[in-house]
Each structure stands twice: as C-alpha cells, then as structure tokens.
Amino acid sequence: MKEKVLGRTGLKVKTLGFGGIPIQRLSEEDAIEVVRHCYKLGLNYYDTARGYTTSEVRIGKALEDVREKVYLATKSNKRTAEGIKEELETSLKNLRTDYIDVYQLHNVSNQTQWDQVRAPGGALEAVNEAKEQGKIRHLSVTSHSPDMAIELVQSGIFETMMIPYNYLTVQPEEKLLPLCNKLNVGTVIMKPFGGGAFSNANTALKYVLSNPHSDIIIPGMLSIAEIEENYKVWMGDHSLREEEHKLIQQDKELLGDQFCRSCNYCQPCPQEIPISTILRTETQVLRRMGWSDNRVRMVKNAKEKLDTCIHCGECETRCPYNLPIQELLPKAMESLWDRMENRTIP
C-alpha cells in the first residue's frame, strides 16, 4: 500500500516520507535539490525538527511554492509553554508557512519528561493554544521508549506517534504499533536503518514497509541516488526473500541489541569524546568502508580523547537506548585499536 490515512489526523500520506536530519550535512543548494526531488517523485510528508539546525530552513525554501500540496511535520524538545511558543514561531518562519500540519513534542522518553510537558505552564498548554489558533493542525509526539510511548498513546492526546523501529529494534511491533492502530493513532517510523548500522538498507526498508501497522516511514535521504534507491524499494514488492532473512540474522548476531544508533543524544560530552564514532567504527563503518589514512587518524584522535573521560556518566543518562556507554567505550576502542594495528576488518 503506497498511501495511507495517518491515524485520526485524516491526512492521506504516501507511506514513504522524508526524514530531515541528514540534509544538515549538505550545502543548502544540494539540500534543496534533494527535498525537491522527493517532491517530484510524489512524496508528500516532510519531517524535520527545531533541533536539526538548518533542516527547517532548507525544507521551507524547497517547498514554499508547493506548500498546500505537502504535509510539514516538525518538533520541539522544549518542555515549557514559553519554550514551545518561541520555537513554534521560529519553525513557522523557517518553514515559510503559517501552519504546521503535524507538530510533535520531541523525544518524550521517560516519566520526568512526560510530567514536565503535562505540568501547569508545560509544553502541552502551548501546543493546545497553538492548535486553537490554527498554527498547528495535529498534535503529536515522538519517543525512543516503547513503554513510555504506550502511555503517551493511551493518554488519548496525540494523533501520531513517532518511534524508532527496525529489524533490530523490534519491541514496538509487539504491543505499541498494534495499539496505535487500534486507537487510530498514526505511526511514523524513524531509524529504519538503525542509524546506518545495517548491512543492506533495502532489506531494512522492506522489513518496516511490510509491517501492516507501520503507516509512514521517514528515512533520512542524503542524495538523489539514495532517494531513487529507496523509491525503487518502496514501489516494489516488500516481502523478504530467504537471503534477506539470512542477512537480518547475520546483523542480529554481529550487532546484538546493544548497538549505537548514531543519534548523538548522548552529546555534548564535556570532554568532547566522539562517543558514537568510537562505538560504531568497528562494527558498522569498517565493514562498509575499510581502513584509510583518515580513519587511522580519526581512531588515534578518538583514543586520545577517550583517555580524558572523567566518568561523569552524563552520556548514559541521555542515551535513549540505555547503553552502558562507559563500559562499552573502552571495549570498543581496544578492539578497534587491535584491528587498526593489523588493518583487519570484521
């Protein structure tokens, strides 16, 4: 199914949408071209966030003249009414519009955050007011915790739920996604590629697309070639072949469930330790790209930084996947260092 109604928003969305994180890394010109290419292919749902630096501005510039033909979704991680009011105005300006189709409270992943947004003077007050004013059409939420997400969905407040879901993060398929469908809450799937961890992006995309409880999937797309590839998969048959099941099994064995998704929520580290780089290089980057002089330099620099860790634990309190970062970092570096000296790859 290439088009679905997104829960009780009533919006008719193409089931392949656009994730706005990666375009931050492009030049503005290239970013606009990428967004525009998606529009030309017929994609109609564009997700971004106040926190994705230049992403809103670029999407706004790319889609200004076709505003009525697309749905714009953005989000704020502010927990107070005052914070939301300020960020919403910035988002409207950046996106060159006077309304946001889907406005999401960003990353409500634990009880403290949920209590903050519901408190008097909290974020919910501001978004409800903005909805009455017509600045927001539909109120939604994102979370990295399937358990928290269930509570959020059951609150009856939100019209869509955005959650990470992929073949190694399968927890949402047990309870959360069916519950969303039952309660008519639209499901927006982020991180279908596990933050770039998986060996075959097409298989990863098919895995999510084949789940009937997934309404829209928003992979980040960085180039025309990537868009075309994802588009081809989306247009095709989504059933997984035997060799793809084997591939998934291999990734499960290699990555386990304690793998870094490269979301960088653990930053900033006071010692500027490149946490995700260290955690991902051996199992995810080397496999695809091998060793180069740059990579050797990067590993040596990362080791120097890692040696300055003051074990404050701040990174662990921020990681939505509860990774024991302080335990994983030295192990990952030791193994990586060994591979570097012998120039081996996994």
Q: Which residues in this chain contact ligand SF4 in the complex, by CB under 6 A? A: 260-266, 269-271, 273, 275-276, 279, 309-315, 319, 321, 323, 325-326
Residue closer to ligand SF4, measured from CB, 108 or 126:
108
Instruction: Output the smallest distance, CB 318 to ligand SF4, in A.
Output: 6
Residue closer to ligand SF4, measured from CB, 158 or 321:
321
CA 80 to chain centroid: 23
Instruction: Output the smallest distance, CB 263 to ligand SF4, in A.
Output: 4
Helix (H, G, I), strand (E, B) or coil at 190: strand
154 Cβ neighbours under 8 A, 6+ residues apart = 179, 183
Residue closer to ligand SF4, measured from CB, 171 or 264:
264
Query: Nearest to residue 43, comparing CAs of 229, 227, 209, 238?
Result: 227
Query: Nearest to residue 138, comparing CAs of 208, 47, 200, 266?
Result: 47
Residue closer to ligand SF4, measured from CB, 71 or 167:
167
Instruction: Output the smallest distance, CB 165 to ligand SF4, in A.
Output: 15
Instruction: Output the smallest distance, CB 175 to ligand SF4, in A.
Output: 22
CB-based burial label for 314 (10 Å; 0-12, 13-18, 19+): middle
Based on C-alpha coordinates, what's the Rg of the chain?
20
Residue closer to ligand SF4, measured from CB, 94 or 169:
169
Instruction: Output the smallest distance, CB 206 to ligand SF4, in A.
Output: 23
Compute the distance between CA of residue 159 and CA of residue 153 in angstroms, rounded to an integer. Answer: 8
> CA distances (Å), 341 to each of 184, 306, 335, 336, in order?
54, 18, 10, 9
Instruction: Output the smallest distance, CB 141 to ligand SF4, in A.
Output: 19
Residue closer to ligand SF4, measured from CB, 184 or 308:
308
Cis status, amide bond into 268, omega within 30 of 0: yes
